[in-house]
């Protein structure tokens, strides 16, 4: 059975590319454009990985990660963000994020990190 990945990202171009790349890699990809939709999807469906931006409409990435770590602690999370501030990156790791990738990013590198994170979990 295909491993399921939830992508939470509001940039349609990034969504399209990630969806394309990860589907080619053999994953089943579900997309949510904002934090609120992501929470709804997470309530009804099980995933092997979440890839999320930090700047999201309605519920921001940090709140979303907090929710995931409180309710589904075993679910690994990769952050994909434009933020290069050390503080934000440190905070994300303290919250239990598994990886942090800054934009602009290399889709091939992201694909490898996705594979490694899923395998490690």
Partner 1 sequence: MNSLEHIVNDWPWILKLNALFIVLFLVFIIMVICSLVYLRIYKNQRERHKISYQENADEFLNNYMFNDDFDIKNEIETFKSKHLNTPLKKKITLRQILIYNENFKGESSVLIKKVFQELELDQFVFNILKKGSWYAKARAIYVLSELLVKEPRLVSPYLNAKHEEVREQAIYYFLKTATNNPLSFFKNLKTELTLWELVYIEDSIKYAYTGETPDFSIWLDHHLITIRIFSIKMIQQFNQFENIPKIIPFLYHENPHVRKETIRALYKLHYEALLEKVIPSFKDEEEVVKSEIIKAIQALGRIDQLKELKSLISNQDKRTELTYLQVEKNFMIN
C-alpha closest to that of 80 among 20, 24, 6: 6
Spatial separation of the C-alpha atoms in residues 27 and 71, rounded to whole Å: 24
Residue placing its CB nearer to partner 1 in the complex, 13 or 46: 13
Smaller CB distance to partner 1: residue 2 or 16? 16
Min separation Cβ 17 and partner 1, Å: 6
Binding site for partner 1 (CB under 8 A): 11, 13-14, 16-17, 20-21, 24, 103-109
- The residue among 8 and 68 lying less far from partner 1, judged by its C-beta, is 8
- What DSSP element (H or E) covers 68? helix 61-71
Q: And the tokens for 66? A: 């907090």
């Amino acid at each position: 059975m295909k491993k399921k990945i939830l992508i939470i990202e509001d940039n349609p171009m990034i969504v399209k590319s990630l969806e394309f790349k990860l589907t080619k890699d053999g994953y089943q990809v579900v997309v949510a454009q904002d934090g609120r939709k992501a929470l709804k999807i997470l309530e009804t469906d099980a995933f092997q990985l979440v890839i999320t931006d930090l700047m999201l409409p309605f519920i921001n990435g940090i709140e979303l990660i907090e929710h995931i770590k409180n309710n589904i602690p075993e679910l690994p999370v990769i952050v994909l963000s434009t933020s290069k501030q050390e503080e934000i990156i440190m905070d994300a790791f303290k919250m239990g994020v598994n990886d942090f990738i800054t934009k602009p990013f290399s889709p091939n590198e992201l694909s490898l990190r996705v594979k490694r994170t899923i395998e490690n979990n």
